[in-house]
Chain A
Amino acid sequence: MSSSDSGRVRAVLDYAAARMLDATVLERIGIAIASTTLALLIGLIIVAAAGHNPIRFANQLVVGSFGSERAIARTLRYSTIFVLAGIAVAIAFRAGVFNIGVQGQFIVGGIATVISIIWLAPLLPDGMIGGAVLILVGTLAAVISGGLYAALPGVLKAYGGANEIITTIMLNFIAIGFVGWLVSSPFNDPESTATRTERLPDNVSLPSIVFEDPNLSIVGLIVTIAVVAFVAIVMTRTSFGYDMVTSGYQQSAAKYSGVDAKRMIVSTMTFSGIVAGLAGAVFVIMIQGYYTDPSGVGNYGFDAIAISLLAANNPIGVIPAGILFGGLESASSHIQINSNVPVQLIDGVVGLVVLFVAVPELFRMIARRTGLGGDDR
């Protein structure tokens, strides 16, 4: 082998190394797809074992999520919330902080929106301008309260050493209980038989252009995409984002370059909670229009963990993962009406997705055994 050849070999090796870096992205996508497929397959087996027709169930999954314009609008409606909540989780996970409390921050943000709007509505004119002001104020209230509710476990972790996984889970239970009390006692709508707050005034609604669905607004979609873009830019193009990610992955390097690790934890959690609160505001203004007992509002914040993991905590990756979960949620509301398969199955499938995402090694091994995709899968 001549020396010029060894130069060529070197170049090939460099090329291969560059490809390998790409391969980790490919690998993650492969793992995400494999995890989801495997979880869905197990779901179908369980459906069959429970005595239902799995093919019919699979068909209903597709029809219920993307089968009609109504289904697509419903999918996008859920996806909006899932993507926002997923981004909130991803921000923290990227920085190596486990914010399991997105559900709680989402609930606190939502109720803050409802309360602030109900309080302020009598002071403002009825028309569109009044509505716009109320929406802005309500969103601001959600963002602030969500941020503060997340800052608390951040402070407790940074300065008290309290494990944020457990404190955020406890704060979820506290949010569910406390907001449940708020909607059943001080803020209960006396004219409603259900346990819920008053409805938001009619002028507090987002315009439904493009889609006829009253619970989906193009404004909600635009806000979501803007948030994704904003977070992606903050994470990859700003020094704050750089410090955040390095303190997640290279703690000593971050410390060496002068990052205050404790403050970083608090600001990361706050940032994450702000987005979770925003998701709560969009949920209230675009979809619900009032607040009910939070033990029944849906596990958006928990599913968001699965979404973020599926997306490898990448803000852009959260979009397809969020749409997948939006589709599942949309299909489950279709299945609830059109089939007698209990929809809780979907929640179980989500759990399986998370489990499989946790064991990439398993899929690598399967890939190696079967020869599918080889090492770069």
Chain B
Amino acid sequence: MSVADYTTQKRVQIGGLAVVALIVLGALLTVWFDVALDRLFTGGYVNRSLQMATPIALAAVGGLYAEKSGVFNIGLEGFMIFGAFTSAATMYLLGGTSPSQGHIWLAIVVAVIVTMLFAALFAVLLIRYKADQIVAGLAVWFIGLGFAPFLAAILWGSRSSPGLASINYLAVPNLEEIPWFGSALFTQSPLVLLTVLIVLVSWVLLYRTRYGYWIQAAGENPEALDTAGIDVNRVRYAAVIFSGAMAGLGGAVLLAHAGNFVGTGETMVDGRGWIGIVAYLFGNYNPIGAAAAALLFGGLDMLNYQLQMVGIEVSARLVNLFPYIAVIVVLTAWGKTRVPSSVGEPYESEE
């Protein structure tokens, strides 16, 4: 299988270890709390994990395109905040507190367009004006953290929006009743399916098309690409704008699932953009690997709800820390990802 071509041996080992660890953890839970595993890992859990994973996976796919092309977009978190806010605001302006499904889809489109514009501006600062990529990326986060709650306060008089509406699930009658995977596959948010599609298309685009090779060359060997007559910076602009659009879409998807905007604390995005960066590092810059890593984080995120369902009393605040701890463990166990060699360096053509 061609995915395996891009998956190194060691990563498989670590992935295997993670699965073993999860099984051992599950077994311990069964013994300590007398909880049957099949009650913990239900079809509904898979379903919710997929939903939690989608925003992370989208941000990750975007981020890996930017980094493959030689630009480290550390502003994913900020773009997600813009995406979530813009879609909430659009939804509210179109349909008040009871927007229709059509309004939700329109809001998602608007959010993607708006974040694309922001990302284009960001790309100009990074590529044309050679801004420090780390500092500018942090700035995007801070701007999101500040302006999204500010605009929310102007629009709704509070940092969070009132309840708006969340997206309807697609359900295939009869098939959804298949045990285990039936509900995950056949009663699912259309946005999860869209994400799966985007991940697969990104994989094909990156590894199977000429444009994908240009993106990879822009990060690995910009001189060669330049010599071949391709404008390196143009490829990078496209990749950075795409990464902003994907992060914005991720934020909009997060909102469409949650149904209202939360601008308190670190906002409803709550680190998912940063987790997205780790997801693509863990996935070795491969869209499919990144999506799988996002699913791992999404699953950890939903564990809280799952433990409550089976009656294990653990503080929600503590269980909510699992994804962040997992990020640290993953980064440490697999910190030395092979970064494209020209990441972070502005490229100047020798014309």
Chain A, residue nearest B316 (CB): A181
Contacts A185-B315, A344-B153 given; does A169 touch B146 at CB 8 Å: no
Residues in A whose Cβ lies below 8 Å from that of B140? 351, 355
Chain A residues within 8 Å of B159, by CB = 344
B327:A351 contact, CB within 8 angstroms: no
Residue A170 is within 8 A (CB to CB) of chain B in the complex: yes
Given contacts A162-B328, A359-B136, contact A173 B321 (CB under 8 A): yes
Out of B134, B141, B265, which one reaches A295, CB within 8 Å? B265
Per the 8 Å Cβ criterion, residues 243-272 of B in contact with A are 263-266, 270-271
Q: B265 CB to closest chain A CB, in angstroms?
A: 4
How close is B243's CB to chain A, nearest CB, in angstroms?
16
Identify which of B135, B278, B333 gathers the most chain A CB atoms within 10 Å of its CB: B135
26 contacts between A and B (CB under 8 A): A46-B150, A156-B331, A160-B331, A160-B332, A166-B277, A167-B332, A169-B274, A170-B325, A173-B270, A174-B324, A174-B325, A180-B317, A181-B318, A346-B146, A347-B146, A347-B147, A348-B150, A351-B140, A351-B141, A351-B143, A351-B144, A351-B145, A352-B139, A358-B136, A359-B125, A361-B130
The answer to whether the Cβ of B335 comes within 8 Å of any Cβ in the partner chain is yes
Contact B271 A165 (CB under 8 A): no
Query: In which size bucket is the chain A interface?
Result: 35 or more
Interface locus among A54-62, A122-130, A301-309? A301-309
Query: Is the beta-carbon distance between B74 and A165 smaller than 8 angstroms?
Result: yes
Smallest distance from the beta carbon of A58 to chain B beta carbons, Å?
17
Instruction: State in angstroms the CA–CA spacing of A347 and B78 once bound together.
Output: 13
* B153 & A100 in contact (Cβ 8 Å cutoff): no
Let me know if A173 and B336 touch, CB within 8 A. Answer: no
- Nearest 4 interchain pairs by C-beta: A348-B146, A347-B146, A351-B142, A351-B143
Minimal beta-carbon separation of B133 from chain A (angstroms): 8
Say which residue of B131, B146, B277, B318 sits within 8 Å of A177 (CB atoms). B318
- Once the chains bind, are A166 and B136 in contact (CB under 8 Å)? no
Cα A354 to Cα B78 with chains together (Å): 13
Given contacts A354-B135, A355-B136, contact A302 B328 (CB under 8 A): no
Number of interface residues of B (CB under 8 A): 48
Query: Are B143 and A170 closer than 8 Å at their CB atoms?
Result: no
**Is A279 part of the binding interface, using a Cβ–Cβ cutoff of 8 Å?**
no
Q: Does B55 contact A (CB under 8 A)?
A: no
Given A352-B139, A359-B125: A173 and B332 within 8 A (CB)? no
Q: Is there an interface contact between A365 and B328, defined as CB atoms closer than 8 Å?
A: no
Which residues on B sit within 8 Å (CB–CB) of A302?
142, 145
Whether B129 sits at the interface, judged by CB under 8 Å, is: yes
- Chain B residues whose CB sits within 8 angstroms of the CB of A161 once the complex forms: 332, 335-336
Select which of A169, A178, A295, A359 is within 8 A of B131 by beta carbon: A359
Do A177 and B134 contact each other (CB < 8 Å), given the known contacts A160-B335, A351-B142?
no
Q: Which of A343-377 contact B (CB under 8 A)?
A: 344-352, 354-355, 357-359, 361-362, 365
Q: How far is the CA of A359 from the CA of B136 in the complex (A)?
A: 8
Which of B139, B277, B325 sits near A358, CB closer than 8 Å?
B139
Q: Is there a chain B Cβ closer than 8 Å to A258's Cβ?
A: no
The distance in angstroms between the C-alpha atoms of A348 and B274, with both chains bound, is 19
Is the beta-carbon distance between B278 and A166 smaller than 8 angstroms?
yes
Contacts of B149 in A (CB 8 A): 342, 344, 347
A354 and B335 contact, CB distance less than 8 A: no
Q: Which residues of A sit under 8 angstroms from B321, Cβ to Cβ?
A: 173-174, 177-178
Contact, CB under 8 Å: B129 / A365: yes
Residues of chain A with a CB closer than 8 A to B153's CB: 342, 344
Which residues of A does B touch, CB under 8 Å? 46, 50, 98, 100, 156-157, 160-163, 165-167, 169-171, 173-174, 176-178, 180-181, 184-185, 295-296, 299, 302, 305-306, 309, 342, 344-352, 354-355, 357-359, 361-362, 365
Q: Is the CB of A156 within 8 A of B142?
A: no
B324 and A170 within 8 A (CB): yes
Among B140, B143, B150, B327, max chain A CB count under 10 A is at B150
Of the residues A160, A181, A185, A354, contact of B139 by C-beta under 8 Å: A354
Q: Are A350 and B154 in contact (CB under 8 A)?
A: no
Q: Given A174-B324, A180-B317, A359-B125 in contact, is the A163-B335 Cβ separation under 8 Å?
A: yes
Instruction: Indicate if the CB atoms of B138 and A357 lie closer than 8 Å.
Output: no
B residues with CB within 8 A of A: 74, 125, 129-132, 134-136, 138-147, 149-150, 153-154, 159, 263-266, 270-271, 274, 277-278, 281, 315, 317-318, 320-321, 324-325, 327-328, 331-333, 335-336
Residues of A within 8 A of B325 (CB): 170, 174
Are B150 and A295 interface neighbours, CB within 8 A?
no
* 12 extra interface residue pairs, beta carbon distance < 8 Å, beyond A177-B321, A351-B145, A354-B142: A163-B281, A166-B274, A167-B331, A178-B321, A185-B315, A344-B263, A347-B149, A347-B150, A350-B146, A354-B138, A359-B131, A361-B131
In the assembly, what is the distance between CA of A355 and CA of B145, in Å? 13
B125 close to A156 (CB less than 8 A): no
> Please, which residues of chain A bring their CB within 8 A of the CB of B134?
98, 165
Contacting residues, chain A, for B281 (C-beta < 8 A) = 163
Q: Are A163 and B324 in contact (CB under 8 A)?
A: no
Contacts of B144 in A (CB 8 A): 351
List of B residues within 8 angstroms of A354 by Cβ: 135, 138-139, 142
With A173-B271, A347-B146 in contact, is A295–B266 under 8 Å at CB?
yes
Give the docked Cα–Cα distance between A165 and B271 (Å).
Answer: 13
Q: Least Cβ distance of A251 to chain B in Å?
A: 15
Task: Name which of A50, A100, A160 has the most chain B CB atoms within 10 A of its CB.
Answer: A160
Inter-chain contact B333/A348, CB cutoff 8 Å: no
A156 in complex: contacting residue of B138, B141, B328, CB < 8 Å: B328
